Amino acid sequence: MQTLHSAFGHRHPVWAVSHAGHCVPPDSMDMVEEAEEGDVFGLDGQIEHKLAFLRKHVPRETSLVLVGHSIGCYIILEMMKRDPELKIMKAVMLFPTIERMAQTPQGKVMTPVLCHMRYAAYLPLFLLSLLPEALKAGLIKLALGGIRSLDRAVVRPTVALLSGDCAANAMYMGGQEMRIVLERDNLTIKRNLEKLIFYYGATDHWCPVQYYHDIKQDFPRGDFRLCADGFRHAFVLDAGTEVATMVAEWIGGDLRT
């Protein structure tokens, strides 16, 4: 966010919207499902959560550039479908998990865990959440110690995600992703093709390179790019600045016009 903001001389606001229930609320608030109906922390609820943010906080006439990562790309496509009047200039889809998630190498490993075994993980996660913050931070640094150029800024939000409620909500949403993200939404992609930039990883176990070749074949006029820099799916761990600089170059023309 800081890199994108500075890349355009701080002339354009940059917003990031967390997934509902994935970060610890202020002490004065409880993490509760306040909606009268609907699955607030599920995948559908997360899509409506992003649309609600725009409706409440962003003037309707504002031109938007949306940047999504992983399941965020699926959410962007759904936002485009549900509210076609949004003034979206460009949408950047980074390492997009928009189809056949359960069939991917990582999906085959995680689907049983997220869909059938997640309740077994709740107790150890709860016990982990009781540890002092400094100790949890130390464990996170130890777990990520193999990443040579780790961005230390990711440690604090990762510790927050280990809160019992946050971790449970994240696993619940992940289980829904495995069940819901099946077929690629070709109709929405076709309707918005000129606005979309897709960036696929060369070694992404959540989105195999074959998916890149498939979509490129189905939409020969689309803007599909394959990573040549070795960025990992979770690029925020060590390459957030590099990816943001790249995104700024892609969308620079749109923001200057």
Spatial contact of 8 and 255, defined as CB atoms under 8 Å apart = yes
Q: Is 70 a catalytic residue?
A: yes
Spatial contact of 7 and 244, defined as CB atoms under 8 Å apart = yes
Give the whole-angstrom CA distance, residue 74 versus residue 180.
Answer: 11
Task: Exactly one of 19, 49, 70, 165 is catalytic; name it.
Answer: 70
Give the whole-angstrom CA distance, residue 115 versus residue 179.
Answer: 8
Give the whole-angstrom CA distance, residue 41 versus residue 22.
Answer: 9
Spatial contact of 91 and 196, defined as CB atoms under 8 Å apart = yes
Q: Is 204 a catalytic residue?
A: yes
Give the whole-angstrom CA distance, residue 246 versus residue 239.
Answer: 11
Active site residues: 70, 204, 233
